[in-house]
């Protein structure tokens, strides 16, 4: 054990003294991301999903005249060491839809998604694709229910999305269409493309009409089985925000106010769900004027800590902080406050990751490119516009790259020792400061 820890310390010194390149190609990024215990694994080495949300990738890429913006934004992301992008594989009905009606697709929009995936691949960035939206933006549950109602189904609520048989068929058919899509740029079907890290069932599913959580539990169970019946290559997650439910009543006190109909523990225990997600928006969840900045930061600390611990000890699966940020549009905003939020989330991920723990990355909301002011919701960050937050993001990339390199060297030393007949180096992998 002492030899192992000595090796870790030595490797840390060597790598820190070397010039670390932040690019995503520091270690080979081709191949499918898997899970191994509570960690992601890529080509036999731990993998960290340090990245960003960019819901607009397909939408912008559908216009060939805008594609240079996508290329530049992804290149900047790669230069800053970011490894994963989360984006939408949906736009249902309405203006510039991907799916204009059930099973009817807009080829220009699909080619936009093709291009975004191909560009991500060229920059060594993995993609998480979400199949549908909980909200009305880009169609959402409401559009699916409206389609079913127009065909005579007795649906009255958006929550019928999770139970009506025709709506579920519409949704399953969309999943099938996305998985079987042949990328016109890479010439690879999506379900065979290792650029895609994972599928997401829905962006932030909620079913407030059933606070027991049974409706969402049954829906995730059914849809996870459907995805896995078509594609065993890719990981799958549910898109959850992390609200606790009846399976862990002691943890429900951590939830913000409201009825959500989800259950972080039960939902993520479902077979086929490979890793957990948590989102954190204290500014959005606590709108009462009496909720001070300190109160919100206390919530953030407890919220992230609890979910990392539960992923580690209860779920025994990796977890990603899949959305977090700080809006510039909030009253009293300061860049220092945004940096504190980012540093808080990143430090908790790093402290877990360096011990081989379940925290496997964070995806800030949201990345923007130059000339994309129409997508600025207050959370947008442009990486080539120098700011203290960009420096925080780059620092996290360096730290996780360092961890990955150290673990890779440890694994290679063990392989060498086994090949030399020295047996396996024993001891739990963790990195000391």
Which amino acids are annotated catalytic?
204, 323
Q: How many CA atoms lie within 13 A of 212 on its CB side?
A: 3
The residue behind tokens 């069932």 is 201
Residue 60 contacts residue 112 (beta carbons within 8 Å): yes
Specify whether the CB–CB gap between 204 and 134 falls below 8 A: yes
Return the percent helix, strand and coil in the chain, to nearest 5: 45, 15, 40
State the residue for tokens 């024993």. Answer: 426
> Which regions of 238-342 does DSSP assign to beta strands (E)?
276-280, 319-324
Spatial distance between the Cα atoms of 379 and 362, rounded to a whole number of angstroms: 15
Q: How far apart are CA 276 and CA 265, in angstroms?
A: 9
268 conformational bin, left if phi > 0, alpha if psi -120 to 50, beta if neither: alpha
Residue holding tokens 């199949």?
131
Positive or negative, the Cα torsion across 399, 14, 22, 119?
A: negative
Task: Classify strands 84-88 and 51-53 as parallel, antiparallel or unpaired.
Answer: parallel
Which candidate, 182, 228, 237, places its Cα nearest to that of 205? 237
Q: Are strands 51-53 and 45-47 parallel, antiparallel or unpaired?
A: unpaired
């Amino acid at each position: 054990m002492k030899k192992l820890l000595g090796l870790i310390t030595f490797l840390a010194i060597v790598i820190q003294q070397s010039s670390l390149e932040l690019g995503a190609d520091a270690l080979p990024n081709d191949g499918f991301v898997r899970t191994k215990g509570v960690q992601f694994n890529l080509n036999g080495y731990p993998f960290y999903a340090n990245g960003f949300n960019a819901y607009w990738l397909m939408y912008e890429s559908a216009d060939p005249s805008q594609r240079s913006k996508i290329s530049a934004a992804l290149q900047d992301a790669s230069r800053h060491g970011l490894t994963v992008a989360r984006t939408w594989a949906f736009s249902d009905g309405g203006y510039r839809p991907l799916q204009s009606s059930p099973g009817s697709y807009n080829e220009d929009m699909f080619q936009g998604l093709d291009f975004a995936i191909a560009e991500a691949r060229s920059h060594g960035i993995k993609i998480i694709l979400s199949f549908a939206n909980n909200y009305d933006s880009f169609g959402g549950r409401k559009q699916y229910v409206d389609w079913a109602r127009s065909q005579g189904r007795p649906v009255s609520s958006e929550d019928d999305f999770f139970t009506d048989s025709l709506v579920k068929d519409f949704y399953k058919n969309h999943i099938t269409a996305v998985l079987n899509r042949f990328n016109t740029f890479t010439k690879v079907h999506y379900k065979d493309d290792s650029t895609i890290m994972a599928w997401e069932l829905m962006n932030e599913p909620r079913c407030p009409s059933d606070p027991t959580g049974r409706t969402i539990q049954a829906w995730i169970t059914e849809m996870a089985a459907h995805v896995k019946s078509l594609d065993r290559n890719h990981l799958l997650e549910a898109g959850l925000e992390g609200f606790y439910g009846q399976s862990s009543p002691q943890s429900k006190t951590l939830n913000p106010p409201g009825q959500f109909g989800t259950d972080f523990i039960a939902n993520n225990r479902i077979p086929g769900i490979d890793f957990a997600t948590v989102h954190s928006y204290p500014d959005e969840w606590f709108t009462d004027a009496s909720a001070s900045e300190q109160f919100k930061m206390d919530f953030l600390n407890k919220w992230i800590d609890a979910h990392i611990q539960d992923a580690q000890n209860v779920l025994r699966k990796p977890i990603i902080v899949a959305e977090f940020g700080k809006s510039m549009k909030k009253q009293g905003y300061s860049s220092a406050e945004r940096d504190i939020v980012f540093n808080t989330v990143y430090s908790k991920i790093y402290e877990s990751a360096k011990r081989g723990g379940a925290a496997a990355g964070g995806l800030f909301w949201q990345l923007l490119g130059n000339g994309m002011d129409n997508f600025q919701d207050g959370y947008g960050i442009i990486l080539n516009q120098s700011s203290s937050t960009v420096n925080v993001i780059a620092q996290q990339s360096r730290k996780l790259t360092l961890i990955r390199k150290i673990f890779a060297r440890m694994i290679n030393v063990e392989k060498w020792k086994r090949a030399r007949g020295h047996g396996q180096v024993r001891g739990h992998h963790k990195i000391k400061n």
